[in-house]
Structure 1
Amino acid sequence: MPSIVAKTVPGRKYYQIVESRRVHGRPRSFVLAHLGRPETLLARVQQPGPGRFRSVAHGAVAALWGQATALDLAALIDARVPRDRRGRLPI
């Protein structure tokens, strides 16, 4: 589970979202996002409006959906999956 951690770098405090993962059997912290200094973080939180978001995964999903549709992938899979005695595909 991610947590917010304060990190002090030469006298200045910065905040990060970190997650602990096991690497070779030992716990290790991985930085998921840098939140910045407390002043900038507070200013960002107090801004009106929805804020700015960045999504990078939707393009890959749309590209895969387009390829699956162009290849008629559902029909190809249905042709290879064995049917039961009544001719139905397994659920």
Structure 2
Amino acid sequence: MQRRGLIRRESCPDRRGSDVVLTAYGRAAIEGAAPAHVAAVRQTFIEVLTPAEVATLAAVSRRVMDHLTASGEAGATPRAS
């Protein structure tokens, strides 16, 4: 991915390794792939569930995200590319 220009490595502030940062080209690649990816996920995952199952999945997802948010583990702070 680095050779393709999708990501770059930056030194970690604590000097224990490297951070991987998405480049503008990498972001454009994700944005270009997103519509087909979303369609595939919808077709193979969401469309096979009943409305009740989708509601259950949403409730479980919210519960997990609430837990991660409360513990400070929900997502990373994105850096500018």
Query: TM-score of the superposition, structure 1-length normalised?
Result: 0.28
Which structure has the greater CA radius of gyration? 1
Query: TM-score of the superposition, structure 2-length normalised?
Result: 0.30
Q: Going by fraction, where is helix more abundant, 1 or 2?
A: 2
| Higher RCO (CA < 8 A, seq sep 6+) | 2
